């Protein structure tokens, strides 16, 4: 028995401008973005009743959603498995991936942007400030370099000393430090940068995260499929079954 298998042409990834146009064509896209943010803030308030998000411009909420959808759609076209599903019109799995990607992305970004920062955030900014200061004012960096050379040449921390270095000690070692300032300055800036990076990573790792949920419910699978393909499809039962025992094939 001969079986003929029909497939659609290979899907073509839309560029950012095309996805932007599709978003503008969706009914109430901006309102859906604001509603998602309201749902997320209500969830945060369950744990932090006195918290209020500092939103400088409401459009930043819309921009965050758009950016997350851009990235999710691009990532879906990078996966051969999702490309094959799109080619066969099995969009359900792809839509689930996209909405899940958007939720995960916004969970991280909104938590970092709007939740109260932890102590590592302040430490990161201290290191950033010191790094910027010594980058902008080399004379100040040269003064610190003199102190560094004094401690280095005296073996501070390695040899037993009964008292701190004197001002005369520092004046003597500064002359030595000036000769090595150019090399030590780069080392100093590199060390400060690495410390700033370390606190940046700790800040992100230790930031409390509140999950964003409900993207599929708010934006609807047909709308997300439209963002993906530029065409309107309706869902009909069919195709391979997922672990929950169902799936949908989307027909135009």
pLDDT at residue 2 tops 50:
no
Beta strands at 234-237 and 248-251: parallel, antiparallel or unpaired: antiparallel
Q: What CA–CA distance (Å, rounded) separates 210 from 214?
A: 13
Reported confidence tier of residue 11, pLDDT bands at 50, 70, 90: confident
- pLDDT above 90: percentage of residues in the chain: 52
Q: Where does the pLDDT of residue 244 fall: very low under 50, low under 70, confident under 90, or very high at 90 and above?
A: low
**Domain locations along the chain:** 16-117+209-251, 119-206
Q: Residue 44: its pLDDT value, please?
A: 96
- pLDDT the model gives residue 9: 62
Task: Give yes or no for a contact between 12 and 74, defined as CB atoms under 8 angstroms apart.
Answer: no
Q: Counting Cβ atoms within 10 Å, is residue 47 exposed (0-12), middle (13-18) or buried (19+)?
A: exposed
Closest Cα to residue 208, out of 12, 47, 93, 5? 47
pLDDT tens across 207-242, in order?
Answer: 899 999 999 999 999 999 999 999 888 767 665 555
Phi, psi of 9 (to 5 degrees): -60, 155
Nearest to 191 by CA among 157, 156, 144, 232: 144
d(CA 119, CA 199): 10
């Amino acid at each position: 028995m001969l079986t003929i298998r029909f497939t659609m042409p290979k899907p073509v990834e839309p560029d950012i401008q095309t996805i932007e146009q599709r978003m503008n064509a969706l009914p109430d896209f901006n309102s859906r973005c604001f509603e998602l943010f309201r749902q997320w803030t209500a969830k945060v308030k369950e744990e932090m009743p006195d918290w209020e998000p500092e939103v400088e411009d409401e459009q930043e909420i819309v921009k965050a959603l758009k950016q997350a959808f851009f990235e999710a759609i691009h990532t879906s076209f990078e996966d051969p498995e999702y490309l094959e599903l799109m080619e066969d019109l099995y969009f359900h799995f792809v839509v689930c991936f996209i909405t899940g990607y958007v939720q995960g992305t916004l969970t991280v970004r909104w938590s970092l942007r709007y939740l109260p920062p932890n102590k590592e955030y302040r430490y990161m900014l201290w290191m950033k400030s010191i790094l910027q200061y010594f980058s902008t004012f080399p004379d100040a960096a040269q003064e610190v370099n003199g102190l560094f050379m004094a401690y280095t040449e005296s073996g501070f921390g390695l040899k037993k000393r009964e008292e701190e270095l004197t001002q005369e000690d520092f004046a003597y070692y500064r002359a030595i430090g000036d000769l090595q300032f150019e090399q030590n300055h780069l080392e100093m800036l590199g060390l400060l940068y690495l410390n700033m990076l370390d606190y940046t990573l700790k800040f992100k790792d230790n930031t409390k995260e509140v999950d964003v949920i409900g993207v599929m419910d708010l934006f609807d699978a047909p709308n997300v499929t439209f963002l993906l393909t530029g065409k309107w499809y309706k869902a009909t039962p069919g195709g391979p079954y997922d672990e929950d025992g169902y799936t949908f094939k989307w027909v135009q």
